[in-house]
Structure 1
Amino acid sequence: MNHDAYRHALSRTLAGSECPFPASEFQRRRAAVGAAMREQSLDGLLLTDPSDIFYLTGYTTFEVSVHTALVFTPERLVLQVPSIETGPAVACTQVDDILGYRWEGLEEVLGPLADALAAAGRRIGIDSWHGSLRYGVIQGLMDRLPTHRFEDAGEVMAGARIVKTASELDCLAESARITAVGIESAAAAIRPGVTDSEIAAIGARALHGSGSEFMSMQPIVTAGQRSSIIHTNHQRHRIAEGEPVFLEFGAAFKRYTAPMMRTVVAGEPTDEMHSVFATIRAMYDTLLDAMRPAHRFDDAARAAERVMAPIADDVFFSGVHGYAVGAQFPPSWVEGSGFIARGQMRCFESGMVFHLPLCLRLPGRWGIGCSDTVRVTENGGVPITNNAWTLTGSGGL
């Protein structure tokens, strides 16, 4: 049978059977997005970010490299997927129509998609900065719909997603529980002579064994000098005596990720390591106090920068004190809807959730990081994850 026949056969017994949330949750989300659209006088949205599509429909797959699109209006949702994604489109979603195209038949994409957009209206919002929106698709649609206006509307989805519902907070709490199991298992295995890859394997086994789905980023483990290089990962390197081992894990539960960082020294931490760690802890406490409704992201970042100032010339820090997290797909668990950083003038709201990736790196020597995923409340930031916030030597575990 072809993909159309497969879709109809599946629909008879499995339509919506793996949808992650009840209809009421999706109705609330769609209403919020619809309201944001009306504020920008948009008739519809063309969404290609897998996490945006998931947010409004429940669509879940491990294959996010192929073209997939959602045409959204408050009245109708039309999902376009390649033939190999027919199963997830049927089983995981609540949509009004599914448009299939042959995986290898890219010439089948534009016509049906243009028809769906023509029915939606003439002012269409797109996320022009997201890599999932292919040039060939948007150019082809503009050629076919010359009277349509495609307007950047990335803030429509970002604004709707950044404040989490109770259901989303439950998913993040479960991710946090699983993340902690992975971090604890990996930390307990750290000692001189073990490789970073072995530590990553132990952590990954614990994450999956405790219920994590396929993760948006795999466990991150680096040691010693390599930990001073931002965004390196395990590579069969043997851990030496006295080296700090940096861990960053994030389990996925219904695609929601609550990440956490920890550093364990294979031996005994030096006084300098303790001093850097103390700065990180002070930055963290400052951020928790600043993460209150009506306070700006910029204000929180500047407060943390003042804490780091005495050592700022000696360490590398990314400049982002926090980023919003929620439901994501590979290659990243960063939601992208908000950043606690200098120049970001949005204000905190209760229910926002951020990972605070506080890692300070001494170039060519080592890096130390520690973090929690934190929810914004009326009284400041409250951690969802349960990091121990100690710089421990492996001899003390």
Structure 2
Amino acid sequence: MSELAPFPTSEYTRRVERTRERMREAGLDAVLVTDPANMNYLTGYESWSFYVHQGVLVTLDHDPVWVGREMDAKSAEVTTWMDDEHVLSYTDDYVQSPHDKHPMDYVAAVIEEYGYDDRTLGVEMDAYYYTARSHARLTDQLPEADVQDATLLVNQVRLKKSDAELDYMRQAAELAETGMQAAVDTIAEGVRESDAAAAIYEGLIGGTEEFGGDYPAIVPLMPSGDYTGTPHLSWSDREFEEGDPVIVELAGCKHRYHCPMARTLTVGEPSPEMAETAEVVIEGLETTLDRIQPGMTAAEAEAVWSESIAKHGIEKDSRLGYSTGVGYPPDWGEHTVSLRPEDDTVLEPGMTFHVIPGIWFDDFGVEISETIHITENGAETLADFGRDLFVV
């Protein structure tokens, strides 16, 4: 067991067994896990190596096997709970090879060696780093295998967090607080957006006296001025001006566990429309958090928000939130449950969500969000940061 792994071996073996239960339900003999968040969840593997092909092979009959680039094998040995004999690597001539070599050739050979080349194999078809060429190459090398889509199989296992996972998310919440406080303290007339971003990063990663932070899966998002109706802008060299609205969305991250949070600021006094919209957002958020209970569906939780803002003649087409936890670039979402009308997933204790009651218009927007944990009695807000419209 590596000293760098953030959980005891028992936590990882429990996750693997839960994954195998879902594999049996789906009729799968093996799953090739390539989503770096799922790899981390099952093994503890941590390295900035997801730009090359890698994966964890989970089977019903053998211990999991990490397969990746030779220079990254040491990372697997020092960050995972697996023994070294279950860390397998391909040589560097497989990487972006000008010859007819591809890492999935090696992966296919491993699958064949373990006796799964003619069995039912699941792959994460919609994972960011499992490319079309990877799939074509793997299936070409395993003509007898029944290859099926298992994109969200491990993601579904991740939905309910253990107490140890929640502890890291609470630390991530403290990091989110330091990052957001840095934003409030730095953003002002004449300050460059890039300088505010630098201060936020210092807060997120410098952290507290007790612990520092990890890099978040998404950069701080900071649409400002006329662009706050455009939620996913980052920053530029532009200087903040008097009257600018600014939305800051960020996440603290600890051992890859995220706590996203968004707040809205104004440089100087807000316009009447901005102040009124903020009141609507805050009222809707607090009403929703007060009424969320285990046993509700995701759709029922969203309906509380929609009903609240409808009283003010406002509709919001985008989802209210999504499940969150372990994440790697480009996303901290789990891609499973969404708080929206079509989702009938029942909320259960241990689930965690980023609740984003943002309202965006063409010329401005207001976003004030929280990450919550579904408890036996309702919703626990992980971060503790004021929800006012901040005037800086």
CA RMSD of aligned residues (A): 1.9
Once residues 49 and 227 of structure 2 are traced to their aligned partners in structure 1, the CA distance between those partners, rounded to angstroms, is 31
Once residues 385 and 92 of structure 2 are traced to their aligned partners in structure 1, the CA distance between those partners, rounded to angstroms, is 44
Once residues 141 and 192 of structure 1 are traced to their aligned partners in structure 2, the CA distance between those partners, rounded to angstroms, is 55
Q: Which amino acid aligns with 2:16?
A: R
Q: What is the Cα deviation at residue 144 of structure 1?
A: 2.4
Structure 1 residues 281 and 18: alpha-carbon distance in aligned structure 2, compared to 1, 3 A threshold: same
- Partner SS state of residue 221, structure 1: coil
- What is the match of residue 6 of structure 1? none
Q: Which amino acid aligns with 1:17?
A: E
For 1:172-221, what per-residue CA distance to the aligned partner results, in whole angstroms no more than 9, with x for missing partners? 00000011011012112222121221111111112221111122122222
Q: Which amino acid aligns with 1:48?
A: T
Q: Does 1:94 align with 2:56?
A: no
Q: Does the 8 Å contact 2:90/2:106 carry over to 1?
A: no
- Partner SS state of residue 17, structure 1: coil
Aligned positions of 1:143-162 closer than 5 A: 143-162=140-159
Find 1:114's aligned residue among 105, 108, 116: 108
Q: Does the 8 Å contact 2:43/2:80 carry over to 1?
A: yes
- What is the match of residue 368 of structure 1? 366
Q: What is the Cα deviation at residue 223 of structure 1?
A: 1.6
Q: Does the 8 Å contact 2:12/2:42 carry over to 1?
A: yes
- Partner SS state of residue 176, structure 1: helix
Q: What is the Cα deviation at residue 21 of structure 1?
A: 1.3
- Partner SS state of residue 289, structure 2: helix
Structure 2's unaligned 5+ residue stretches are 96-100
- What is the match of residue 387 of structure 2? 389
For 1:287-311, what per-residue CA distance to the aligned partner results, in whole angstroms no more than 9, with x for missing partners? 3244322211112222212222356
Aligned positions of 1:344-383 closer than 5 A: 344-363=343-362, 365-383=363-381
Aligned positions of 1:1-397 closer than 5 A: 16-74=2-60, 75-95=62-82, 97-106=86-95, 107=101, 109-118=103-112, 119=114, 121=116, 122-210=119-207, 211-309=212-310, 317=316, 319-363=318-362, 365-394=363-392
Q: Does the 8 Å contact 1:195/1:239 carry over to 2?
A: yes
Superposition TM-score, scaled by structure 2 size: 0.91
Q: Does the 8 Å contact 2:217/2:330 carry over to 1?
A: yes
- Partner SS state of residue 305, structure 1: helix
Tell me the percent identity.
Answer: 27
Structure 1 residues 120 and 51: alpha-carbon distance in aligned structure 2, compared to 1, 3 A threshold: farther
Structure 1's unaligned 5+ residue stretches are 1-14
Q: What is the Cα deviation at residue 83 of structure 1?
A: 2.5
Once residues 20 and 227 of structure 1 are traced to their aligned partners in structure 2, the CA distance between those partners, rounded to angstroms, is 38
Once residues 111 and 174 of structure 2 are traced to their aligned partners in structure 1, the CA distance between those partners, rounded to angstroms, is 42
- What is the match of residue 98 of structure 2? none
Q: What is the Cα deviation at residue 360 of structure 1?
A: 1.4
Superposition TM-score, scaled by structure 1 size: 0.90
